[in-house]
Amino acid sequence: MTKKERVYFIIQKLQKLYPEIPIPLDHQDPYTLLIAVLLSAQCTDVRVNQITPILFAKADNPFDMIKLSVDEIREIIKPCGLSPMKSKGIFGLSKILIDSYNGEVPQSFEALEALPSVGHKTASVVMSQAFGVPAFPVDTHIHRLLFRWNLTNGKNVVQTEKDAKRLFPKNLWNDLHLQIIWYGREYSPARGWDLDKDIITKTVGRKAVFEKYYKGKN
């Protein structure tokens, strides 16, 4: 199977499995999505979705957020981990949004990535899911799967994103990155992986992945 054929097979299979694609992080608008994505760093989406209702009940916009102290924010978000950095980031970016953007989330990668605690992946998620701008955020699921599917060398997420954007049609990026996340969680996890249930990897996966899988079974 050529790389082009593998890409086509992956697209078709994901569209069949996930014709409707839920967004993993609960949110109401670009600001609450931005905060939720920031909190998701090294934290599960399930945990974030448990914490954000508590935080957003007190402050679901930058004007209310800066009425809280950094310590108050930190206490609420502590279960998400990295709370000292994240609380400072949430307070700091909220203040910048008020001072520079009238409380609105800017609609550019450059402006988003200039905000405290907002990296390229977070900016990409907000741009794609809040504003519909084509982007291909790469999380651990996508990084793992594109390596398993022999579409990237897996050296780093920067290279994986470049390869994904090069291989997949731009008009599908926003759907595909979510479909791959859901597929990774359901069929191709890092732990407890059952290759027999992982039809995409079983069909297009690289030889080294199969060898490692079966070696671990012996």
Within 8 A by CB and 6+ apart from 172, the residues are: 11
Residue with tokens 């291909």: 136
- The residue from 45, 60, 86, 121 that is catalytic is 121
Predicted TM-score of the model (pTM) = 0.92
Told to judge if 45 belongs to the known catalytic residues of this protein, a careful annotator would answer: no
Task: Let me know: does 138 contact 160? Beta carbons within 8 Å.
Answer: yes
**All structural domains of the chain:** 3-20+137-217 (1.10.1670.10), 30-129 (1.10.340.30)
- The residue from 45, 60, 139, 163 that is catalytic is 139
User: pLDDT tens digits, residue range 88-118?
Assistant: 999 999 999 999 999 999 999 999 999 999 9
Told to judge if 99 belongs to the known catalytic residues of this protein, a careful annotator would answer: no
Within 8 A by CB and 6+ apart from 52, the residues are: 25, 26, 27, 32, 35, 36, 39
| Helix/strand number for the chain, H first, E second | 13, 0
User: pLDDT tens digits, residue range 119-171?
Assistant: 999 999 999 999 999 999 998 889 999 999 999 997 899 999 999 999 999 99
